[in-house]
Amino acid sequence: MKKIIMLCVSLVLLGLFLVGQKIIQKTQVMEVSVISPEDAQSLLAARTPFGEEDMVSLQINGIEAAWEQEEKRYYIPKNMEEDYWKGTLSATAKGLSVSVAWLFDDAFFDMRQAIADEHMFQCLVYDDNNYKLVSVLFTGLPVMQITGEMGGQGTRVALFDPVQNVQGSYQVDESLAYYNIRGNASKRFEKLGYRLELFYEDGSEGNDLSFLGMRTDNDWQLKAMYSDRSKLRDKLSIDLWNQIADKTATAADNGCHMEYLELIINGEYRGLYGLVEPTDYKSLELNKERDLIYKVASDEWPDNDLFDKSEAMESFSCAGVNIRQSSKTYTPGLWEPFRTFWNHGYEMDSKEDLKTLYTLIDRQNFINYDLYYNAISGMDNRFKNIIYSTTVEADGTYTIRRIPWDQNYSWGDDFEQGEEKDIKNIRYNPLLAKKWLNEEVFRNMQAYDDQLAADMQTTWQSWRESFLQEDLWITYAKDQMSYLIDSGAFFRDTQRWPDSENIPSTQEIETFINTHFQWLDKYLAEN
């Protein structure tokens, strides 16, 4: 009987606690009071507006919030899946701490809808004599703010994340930084991609921070996703490769990770971006002194003369192939592993070449890569946009593995043809759903390896029975699209970059998946 009474008392106390929490949530937002119109009017009547020179600003957890100049509003992220508030809002004026309050707004009671509708909230910042009304837009995505000249010194970056961080808190990070344009293709577009490097306050390199639940690092990439109308293709492709790589016994085939955010640079809203970890010696768990990473970035093919020239010039580049330098000093023989692979893989013309090739590469990894880019129809990942992760043993032997990157021409998107093609050079092509893609090395392997077709089929079937099922990837695509739309970010990006021709739908990707996976089932069973 006593146990029952204690249980009832506990339930009552829990209920009172939850009711109390709801009351607090209704009267406070980010630990700041929500005041009535009457109280707000009383405060305003006793004060005069701050001047423009008084530098009024809002902070989240002590870091200045992201300000957008054109619409004159702050961007404050909120986790849409949580009905409670995280983070501490504060304000300053003239460099001093001042009071801040939210004006009462019914929209606080339905924040998911308010975020989707881009509802504007009002903050009242005030001291004993002055006040200022500040507009705030809540977004469902993390927000990054970069302040400073591109390529210059003294730049600062701040990332506000109550959504993706693994601690479940309102994570706010700030750092000295350097940023510049990332990618040759990106330079063609008005919406640019960026590379971001973090520094310590004394200007020294290597300020490693964990962003959006990803790894701890000082080197990051911001993908503009300008040519992908869905903003989903890179995300789906990256996550699929990671599921494939997670099933192998080595970290040397690890892919990168990507999470979404909204970007503001020097007060200018730049839109929806993907924050990406680079694929490098760290992510692949390679030895910087001994192992090698070759990156194929363009369609320009090397040959023996070009390899000789690069060796003679001690160059880290050869045609469209580059060696990731990290902290390397050029030493003779850096090109030898890739050159040998090239001569026996791309130039294969006998079973002896095949036999040599199989002493150089991870055969299963090459099967995985071939099936992968066919699963996504990675039109731009057959020769270029490949990283060759090369582990070198103490005796000089090595193993080469393929890893994809920049997979935006995928899931049914293809190169646009004709003289009138758009600058983005990309359009959905339904014919890809019933097409097998070939590339030179794997085509050569198929010609001389009688067991390859059976091993491809075995691998494909294992995928189809586990993680590569239509409903899983369609549901995932829908969930990601809902996330982008409900956050308000997809709509804002569409307004900011109308020439990107954003489509707030997964219909093309769903059609591709439903047709392509089953077509590949039949193709691999018959070939």
- Considering 216, 240, 274, which residue would you say is the last residue of a domain? 274
| Beta-bridge partner residues of 67 | 74
- Going by pLDDT thresholds of 50, 70 and 90, the confidence category of residue 88 is very high
> In b/e form, how buried is each residue of 491-511, taking b as 16+ CB within 10 angstroms?
bbbbebbeebebbeebebbbe
Predicted local distance difference test score (pLDDT) of residue 185: 61
CB-side exposure of 27: number of CA atoms within 13 Å?
Answer: 6
Same domain? For 134 and 153 the reply is: no
The answer to whether 141 touches 262, Cβ cutoff 8 Å, is: yes
- Phi and psi (nearest 5°) for 521? -55, -50
Q: Is the pLDDT of residue 15 over 50?
A: no
- Going by pLDDT thresholds of 50, 70 and 90, the confidence category of residue 425 is confident
In a domain, 21, yes or no: no
- Phi and psi (nearest 5°) for 174? -135, 145
- Provide CB contacts within 8 A for 25, sequence distance 6+: 83, 84, 85
Predicted local distance difference test score (pLDDT) of residue 419: 74
Predicted local distance difference test score (pLDDT) of residue 320: 95
Same domain? For 475 and 427 the reply is: yes
Handedness of CA 187, 191, 193, 197 (dihedral sign): positive
- Considering 101, 117, 138, which residue would you say is the last residue of a domain? 138
Predicted local distance difference test score (pLDDT) of residue 292: 96
Same domain? For 518 and 493 the reply is: yes
Same domain? For 251 and 341 the reply is: no
Q: Is the pLDDT of residue 17 over 70?
A: no
SS3 426: strand
Q: Is the pLDDT of residue 211 over 50?
A: yes
Determine how many CB atoms are found less than 10 A away from the CB of residue 395: 6
pLDDT in tens, 147-177: 999 999 899 999 999 999 988 999 999 999 9
Give the residue, 517 or 23, on which the prediction is more confident. Answer: 517
State the burial class of residue 132 (Cβ atoms within 10 Å of its Cβ: 0-12, 13-18, 19+).
buried
In a domain, 16, yes or no: no
Q: Is the pLDDT of residue 45 over 80?
A: yes
In a domain, 318, yes or no: yes
- Going by pLDDT thresholds of 50, 70 and 90, the confidence category of residue 184 is low
Give the residue numbers spanning the domain of 36: 28-138
In a domain, 18, yes or no: no
Same domain? For 115 and 226 the reply is: no
**Closest C-alpha to 415, from 385, 376, 378:** 378
Q: Is the pLDDT of residue 195 over 60?
A: yes
Least confident of 48-62, 319-333, 488-502: 319-333
Same domain? For 405 and 434 the reply is: yes
Query: How much of the chain is in helix, strand and coil states, percent to nearest 5?
Result: 35, 25, 40
For the chain, give the mean pLDDT: 92
- Phi and psi (nearest 5°) for 35? -110, 155
The answer to whether 383 touches 402, Cβ cutoff 8 Å, is: no
- Provide CB contacts within 8 A for 90, sequence distance 6+: 58, 59, 62, 97, 100
Same domain? For 217 and 179 the reply is: yes
Predicted local distance difference test score (pLDDT) of residue 186: 63
Q: How many domains does the chain have?
A: 3
Integer Cα distance of 342 and 323 in angstroms? 15
What are the C-alpha distances in Å from 430 to residues 228, 348, 414? 16, 33, 9
Same domain? For 128 and 168 the reply is: no
The answer to whether 77 touches 162, Cβ cutoff 8 Å, is: yes
Same domain? For 372 and 505 the reply is: yes
66-68 vs 73-77, strand pairing mode? antiparallel
Predicted local distance difference test score (pLDDT) of residue 495: 97
Residue with token string 């939210």: 102
Same domain? For 264 and 213 the reply is: yes
- CA 473, chain centre distance (Å): 18
- Considering 111, 138, 165, which residue would you say is the last residue of a domain? 138
- Going by pLDDT thresholds of 50, 70 and 90, the confidence category of residue 20 is very low
Q: Is the pLDDT of residue 343 over 90?
A: yes
State the average pLDDT over residues 421-431. 86
